[in-house]
Amino acid sequence: MITQNCTPLIRLLALLISATSFACERAPEAPQPDAAGPPTLAPKTDAAEPPKDEVSSRHAVKFTGADGQTRSFSLAELIEHVPTHEVTVHDPLYDKEKTFQAFSLRELIPYGFGQTAEALADQDIVLGALDGYTVPTHGARLFEEGGYAAFADEPPKGWEPIEAKKADPSPLYMIWVKDSQQNEQTHPRPWQLTEFALSSHEALYAHASPADLPEDDPAQRGYALFRQNCIVCHSVNLSGGRVGPEMNIPQNITEYRSRDFVLAYISNPEQFRYSQMPAFSHLSEAELASIWSYLEAMKAQKIELPGK
């Protein structure tokens, strides 16, 4: 992975000429003695330009606070203020090695919200795509080393269409570079990513909270761990992800599974069966115990489903 520095002027120029195809390392005034190929900064002539308003909405990236206030930036503004990186990675959606121009999420998101990474790390952040697709995630996850938002494909080709829909992934495509970050459930890869929105977990996971318990109850610690590690895949009272089984209704998992089984399963699911669930071998005995306390506490807080 290489980090490169482009002067803001060059970045802006590149963007004005063609939003998706440029190479920062070649300044326009740099001599090109061999003049072998077309200049990297040449505008695309072979593709029809999309309508202007589509370009502007595609290229706006929004950061919405918990109060609903939105700060909106064009890609050009972000490129001017946030460091850019060239990232080469084997991309699972394209299924080949790709080079992207990208922002590090650790640098982009704090800039967008105008807040420090420390302040945002503990927040639930919902990612929004142009087509309305949303995925809830967590600040600490997004700020892991290795998380990027790509804004341009390998120059000089422009964006290669992505997935079966052959969609244009702009304005942003989220990529993760580490081997440990290749599970899409824990490290989502939305394309056409256009919004980061802070959300309270009360709003996101309305029914998963052990609301009736005091703050210092171990179940509250367990709930915090469950939100950080599990809720992307597991729901409690149908609040949360759909990849793994629901944990509370109609039966709470502690009503039909033993404590020993559940704790052993969380630490290393593959000792029982292969599935999409990753191992949580780093969780301590005390942390596992608090997750159990949380699950058990939710037994007393089942939601009622209409008609059941």
Q: How far is the CB of 119 from ligand HEC (least distance, A)?
A: 25
Residue 69 CB, nearest approach to ligand HEC (Å): 31
Min dist. Cβ of residue 34 to ligand HEC (A): 50
- The burial of 278, by beta-carbon neighbours within 10 Å (0-12 exposed, 13-18 middle, 19 or more buried), is given as middle
Measured CA to CA, the distance from residue 5 to residue 25 in angstroms comes to 8
Q: Which is nearer to ligand HEC, 184 or 217 (CB)?
A: 184
Cα atoms in the 13 Å half-sphere on the side-chain side of 129: 16
Nearer to ligand HEC, 109 or 295 (CB): 295
Q: How far is the CB of 146 from ligand HEC (least distance, A)?
A: 17
How far apart are CB 238 and ligand HEC at their closest, in Å? 16
Least distance CB 295 / ligand HEC (angstroms):
7
Comparing CB distances to ligand HEC, the nearer of 19 and 127 is: 127
Contact positions toward ligand HEC, by CB under 6 A? Answer: 183, 185-186, 229-230, 232-234, 243-245, 253, 257, 262, 265-266, 273, 275-278, 280, 291
Please check whether residue 295 is in contact with residue 222, taking contact to mean a CB–CB distance below 8 angstroms.
yes
- Three-state SS across 21-56? CCCCCCCCCCCCCCCCCCCCCCCCCCCCCCCHHHHH
Closer CB to ligand HEC, 192 or 293, in the complex: 293
CB of 228 to ligand HEC, least distance (A): 8
193 vs 277 by CB, closer to ligand HEC: 277
Of 141, 93, 134, 101, nearest to 120 by C-alpha is 141
User: Whole-number minimum distance, CB 237 to ligand HEC, in Å?
Assistant: 15
Q: Which two tokens stand for residue 92?
A: 């699972």
Residues 6+ apart with CB under 8 A from 247: 234, 235, 236, 253, 295, 298
Task: Decide whether 180 or 276 has the Cβ nearer to ligand HEC.
Answer: 276
Which one, 98 or 187, has the nearer CB to ligand HEC?
187
Strands 193-199 and 60-64: parallel
Which among 17, 6, 19 has a CA at the least distance from the CA of 57? 19
Q: Residue 183 or residue 301: which is nearer to ligand HEC going by CB?
A: 183
